[in-house]
Amino acid sequence: MNMILRYIILLALFSTVYMQNEENVDEVTKVGTAAANWLKLETNPRAIGMGGAFTSIGSGVLGIPYNPASVAFIKNQEGFLSKTNYVADISYQVLGYGRNLSGIDFIAFHGFFLDSGDMDVTTAEYPDGTGERYSVKAMCLRASFGKRITNRLRIGVTGKFIREEIYTTFMQSFALDVGSNFNTGIFGFVLGMSINNLGPEVNFTGDGLEFPCDEEDAPSGNCEKIVDSFILPLTFRLGLSNEIMGPEGSIIKSKDHKLLVAMDAINPIDYTLYGAVGMEYNFNDMFFLRGGTHVGHDTADWSAGAGLKMEINDYTFGLDYAYVNYGILNYTHQFGLNFEF
């Protein structure tokens, strides 16, 4: 009877986001009303291989952009590196490091660096290019603190500095993420919640916004255009996961085989509610296969991934790969290396 009830709960939960999305088909979105949308990009191959359903997965440094409470799962020390070849020749790199301070307190640092690649500078007079080249660069530096409140509840907060450069203009600001991870103790379900990108409105400034004007208006002879301010992409994430097969599996007990299923409901301020559903199969904590999909997302569709973990003396190394289908925008590859010591 308990097994049947667990199946019913899982089915109901995975159906909720899909049904909500069907209701939102004709809803007007707020696409383009927030700045720094690159803050919502997937940042590690394990997460994106699971369709981005990662809010409730306690995964240390890997999970910081999804839920700051993830930092409270670091065992000793760990690091992470990844590179992604995104669409339209855009690429970004991620690196992170975290450590367990006391068994209760945890810290971590996480860096994200994006580059659009070189593009031609065009003007009304030279629509085919002036001969100059420029690129869009973006950076997010995160510092996270996590705390284990009880054996079942962990919380975290991230402070971050963000900067975006477009030709001779730039934007920079500070923002906060907060999150929690709670093992419900009910049929093995783990609940994760986070609010990302809490911060002030931002705008661009720089030489590219200056134009000649009378000295009466500005002693320097240059005035700066007044530009609109934009909100950051504030995002609420609610995730639920369950290890349905494994040593402590909620449905199937197995020593060597694990199967983790997860789902996220994601509600950005500049888009409608959408979902992410994914799973990860693990054999002997060494070989990993992953799959997932986004539900109601305008570009990202299904994804898949694989991983390998090896232990050498007191060091553990993990290599992960993810493939994502972005429909008409083509596909992307993501590679990541993580290590624990």
Query: Which range among 42-51, 97-106, 115-124, 258-267 shows the weakest confidence by mean pLDDT?
Result: 115-124
Most confident of 10-24, 35-49, 91-105: 91-105
pLDDT of 4 strictly over 60: no
Q: What does the pLDDT read at residue 17?
A: 45
pLDDT of 14 strictly over 70: no
The tens digit of pLDDT for each residue in 74-108 reads: 999 999 999 988 888 889 999 999 999 999 999 99
pLDDT of 310 strictly over 60: yes
Provide mean pLDDT across the span 303-310.
Answer: 95
Mean pLDDT score of the chain, rounded to an integer?
A: 86
Q: 304 - beta bridge partners?
A: 291, 323
Please state the three-class secondary structure of 164-192 as a single string. EEECCEEEEEEEEEEEEEEECCCCCEEEE
pLDDT of 142 strictly over 80: yes
Given a contact cutoff of 8 angstroms between Cβ atoms, the answer to whether 144 and 64 are in contact is yes
**252 contact partners, CB below 8 Å, separation of at least 6:** 244, 245, 246, 259
Q: What does the pLDDT read at residue 3?
A: 46
Q: What does the pLDDT read at residue 30?
A: 67
Return the higher-pLDDT residue of 71 and 125. 71
- SS3 label, residue 155: strand
Q: What does the pLDDT read at residue 218?
A: 64
Most confident of 4-13, 197-206, 277-286: 277-286
Q: What is the pTM of this model?
A: 0.85
Q: What percent of the chain has pLDDT over 90?
A: 60
Q: What does the pLDDT read at residue 228?
A: 81
Provide mean pLDDT across the span 111-139.
Answer: 88
Nearest-angstrom CA–CA distance, 265 and 274: 6
The tens digit of pLDDT for each residue in 168-216 reads: 889 999 999 999 999 999 999 999 999 999 999 998 888 777 767 766 6
Provide mean pLDDT across the span 235-259.
Answer: 94
- Residue 126: band (very low, low, confident or very high) from pLDDT cuts 50, 70, 90: confident
Q: Which two tokens stand for residue 331?
A: 């596909």
Task: Count Cβ atoms below 10 Å from residue 183 Cβ, excluding itself.
Answer: 16
Report the Cα 53 to chain-centroid distance in Å: 10
Given a contact cutoff of 8 angstroms between Cβ atoms, the answer to whether 282 and 256 are in contact is no
Q: What does the pLDDT read at residue 22?
A: 46
Region of 197 please: left (phi>0), alpha (psi -120 to 50) or beta.
Answer: left
Q: What does the pLDDT read at residue 18?
A: 44
Q: Where are the alpha helices (DSSP H) in the chain?
A: 2-23, 45-49
pLDDT of 50 strictly over 60: yes
Nearest-angstrom CA–CA distance, 51 and 47: 7
Provide mean pLDDT across the span 115-124.
Answer: 86
